[in-house]
Structure 1
Amino acid sequence: MTQANLRQIIAYSNRANPYPLYEELRRTPVFHEADGPYVISTYYDIRGLLHDPRISSDARNLASSSGDPLADTGEEAALPPSFLRLDPPEHDRLRRMTNRPFGPPHSPRRVHDMRGELGGIVSGLIDGIGGTERIDLVDQFSYPFPVTVICRLLGVPREDEARFHSWADTIAASLDPDPDSDADERAKVSHDARMQLGMYLAGLIEERRKKPGNDMLSELATAHGPDGAMTTMEVLSTAALLLIAGHETTVNLITNGMLTLLRNPEVLRRLRENPKLAVPIVEELLRFEPPVQLLPQRSTLADIEVRGVTIPKGASLWLILASGNRDPLRFKEPDRFDPDREDIEHLGFGSGIHGCFGAPLARLEAQLALSELARRLENPRLLEDPPPYRQNAVLRGPRHLPIACDGIRP
């Protein structure tokens, strides 16, 4: 594979189906050319590196990104890095503090106890679809669902949710830029939205410190555990991480999931008849069509040998998770969607210390969403295949998913 072909992976023309390119890439498990990144594409090598303490997620450790076609992420530097972009010990401290109000052992029922509320949000969105001759599943369902969930998780007042949605939409658009739009204007709009969201959250944090509620933002803002207390800026960066990372990936998981089910009508029929099948379906989706395709801008803290190739200290790494998920040395018939697989130890949520923090919530959201869509949409069918995809090569998913159905069941 040449550097030109490496750029094909992030070229929009291949967004609908990058998997043949990944298959070609796996022929050179450690690919590197000129001053570009080292690209790792096979399952066991990716998994090993995700658990290797010599791999850094901190962009400050990159010696140079001049040859990395994904070096310019377009992200703002208004907030300090979230724990997703830090290494131990800073990463470990912030992740532990964030996990206390989110999951076991301190808050074992946080996600479980949201099940009823999530079900109500799903039902309300499906009820509000209206006409069924042309439904945009992204705009009408899979996009608003996760951001509403994040609002409820953080404790955003119901009367402010519409404003929060607007800011989230604008920030999400900045992660998926339209090449025909004005870059300067787009940057200004995104910056303004981030500033407004940041000021709003800062005000909400101060309110919660004075009068805590039963929500995650209150607990982040007021907790004084073994690791001390979060600063206001750390609470802000953590809330922004939950909003952007949690929202964008779940949108893709649900949309890719419905697209895959509509392409596999027998599995869709089985899910309609047995909602419990949503659990293995979502796990297979995380392997087959992962919402995060690759992890760019990792770097090496020391020389590392992989497959006889020495990757030097300070080198840029791409870990192609979606390619590892289709590695035939790990998965039998990897290009077949099969929710009956007995072993789906996928890389859809990453692995190691940076494994997806919000995985339990994302799983539950996708399971509820897909099982209810399967149950309530009568004879759903695709109107465009492939649908139009988002520009973003990392967070890959349809920008719109036009479908039709014969009606909506109660």
Structure 2
Amino acid sequence: MAADTLYRRITDYATRADPYPLYAELREHRVARQEDGSYLVGTYHEIAELLHDPRISSDQRNRTDPDEFALGREGMPVSFIGLDDPEHDRLRRIAMRPFGPPHTPGRVDAMNDEIVKVAGELIDSFRNRDRVDLVDDFAYPLPVTVICRVLGVPREDEPRFHAWSQTIIDSFDPTPGTDPTERRRAGLDARGAMGEYLGDLADNRRGTHSDDLLAAFVNDPGPDGGFTREELMTTSVLLLIAGHETTVNLITNGMLTLLRHPEALDLLRREPALMPRAVEELLRFEPPVQLLPQRTPLTDVEVAGVTVPRGSPLILVLASGNRDPLRFHEPDRFDPARQDNQHLGFGSGVHSCFGAPLARVEAQIALAELVRRLDAPRLAEDPPPYRRSPILRGPRHLLVEYGGTRA
């Protein structure tokens, strides 16, 4: 089929269960101009170079025809992942100060015991059952509980922000041939409501000694100064959504892959020390974020012999780069012991995933506990039903049958 229809075919829900043949087709072209004027890039080395290229912008205001819905709304500017340096760097450093090194190096490590405890309690609830939905019963509640603890969001408010999160994610559905207007408007409204909610929570932390991120944002701004209220709202929305949605996919895609490769599951049961390496392979093999649709050249840029004009939409298909045979040996083979594995699962460059250290720990613990404690697990349905989003790709449900749970 024509290369200029690849994006339409990749984003078609009918291919959600297995987009990898389309990614292989994309890699044959390396760069493919699409019928809507966008450019797809699917090869590892080209994607990696573009992620580090200062001529490539994450700010949609630099597009020749910017999407008005992507530019935020009054009172809720775009988050730092949609900005370029120096503004991106300033906001990211303020957000990172209470989250990780060098200022707060122990926050993620300090969550380890709590993550183990939550994972164990969730698996304990599987007793006296022979089938569970690993999405609803495990992969969703685990990271939600963790990100609520990190940010300082009351766990009982989860149904509210779950609904907002889903509306926001749905608003980014890029399926060609559909009218996104209502979805995008609903997404902006949900983003505004969630931002006000988180902003109010942060205001209530002023002057307190709480150890969560919202309290740190308002009480310990650091040498770069603090967030404005609007910046705090936008950053908190980003961290809340990214802090659980991508990790849900990582855990679910991970367990789906292990159940499809029982020899790998058995290996990890015998050698649990391999789990960190296995999670890196899962980030390569079935990444939770499949593509980055919001990049724009600031000038004409040549990519693999193709000139991508200034201001054109540039879409980096990370999941395709992760299966590039020019970079990875036997890329379509899942190898939990793979060593040379500098994947694109968390992106790369200045916009690499802010929460990657926490997501790694959550996935390692979650999968280790499932592998250790579920007796003879097997898929009840394959392929499972998938979520709508081609960007945040993962099963909506994952029904698993098993013979019991171990202590």
**Inter-partner Cα distance in structure 1 for 2:220 and 2:318:** 35
- 2:217 maps to 220
> Percent same amino acid among aligned pairs?
56
Bigger Cα displacement from structure 2, 102-111 vs 119-128: 119-128
2:156 is the counterpart of 1:162: yes
SS in 2 for 1:296: strand
The one-letter code sitting in structure 2 at the alignment partner of 1:393 is: P
Gaps of 5+ in 1: none
- 2:63 maps to 62
2:207 is the counterpart of 1:210: yes
Contact 1:164 1:197 in 2 (8 A): no
Shift of 1:268: 0.8
Contact 1:37 1:318 in 2 (8 A): yes
Counting only pairs closer than 5 Å after superposition, residues 290-305 of structure 1 correspond to structure 2 as 290-305=287-302
TM-score, reference length from structure 2:
0.92
2:28 is the counterpart of 1:27: yes
The one-letter code sitting in structure 1 at the alignment partner of 2:48 is: R
Cα pair distance change 1:266/1:76, threshold 3 Å: farther
- 2:323 maps to 326
The one-letter code sitting in structure 1 at the alignment partner of 2:158 is: F
**Inter-partner Cα distance in structure 2 for 1:22 and 1:31:** 11
Shift of 1:130: 4.6
Gaps of 5+ in 2: none
**Inter-partner Cα distance in structure 2 for 1:2 and 1:192:** 36
2:281 is the counterpart of 1:280: no
Q: CA deviation digits over 1:7-26, x for unaligned, max 9?
A: 11000110000001110111
Runs of 4+ in 1 over 4 A off after TM superposition: 71-78, 183-196
**Inter-partner Cα distance in structure 2 for 1:116 and 1:378:** 24
2:12 is the counterpart of 1:11: yes
Cα pair distance change 1:203/1:408, threshold 3 Å: same
Q: CA deviation digits over 1:362-386, x for unaligned, max 9?
A: 0000000000001111110000000
Residue-pair matches, total? 401
Q: CA deviation digits over 1:268-303, x for unaligned, max 9?
A: 112222322210110000000000000002101111
Cα pair distance change 1:271/1:72, threshold 3 Å: farther
- 1:242 maps to 239
Bigger Cα displacement from structure 2, 122-131 vs 141-150: 122-131
CA RMSD of aligned residues (A): 2.4
- 1:342 maps to 339
- 1:258 maps to 255
The one-letter code sitting in structure 2 at the alignment partner of 1:206 is: D
**Inter-partner Cα distance in structure 1 for 2:388 and 2:335:** 28
2:122 is the counterpart of 1:125: yes
Contact 1:150 1:247 in 2 (8 A): yes
**Inter-partner Cα distance in structure 1 for 2:226 and 2:71:** 30
Q: CA deviation digits over 1:119-177, x for unaligned, max 9?
A: 11111111123553321100011011111111100122xxx312134322442254247
TM-score, reference length from structure 1:
0.92
Counting only pairs closer than 5 Å after superposition, residues 392-403 of structure 1 correspond to structure 2 as 392-403=389-400
Cα pair distance change 1:212/1:204, threshold 3 Å: farther
**Inter-partner Cα distance in structure 2 for 1:229 and 1:64:** 33
The one-letter code sitting in structure 1 at the alignment partner of 2:268 is: L
2:101 is the counterpart of 1:104: yes
Bigger Cα displacement from structure 2, 262-271 vs 189-198: 189-198
- 2:403 maps to 406
Shift of 1:193: 5.2
Counting only pairs closer than 5 Å after superposition, residues 35-50 of structure 1 correspond to structure 2 as 35-50=36-51
**Inter-partner Cα distance in structure 2 for 1:333 and 1:184:** 42
**Inter-partner Cα distance in structure 2 for 1:166 and 1:119:** 26
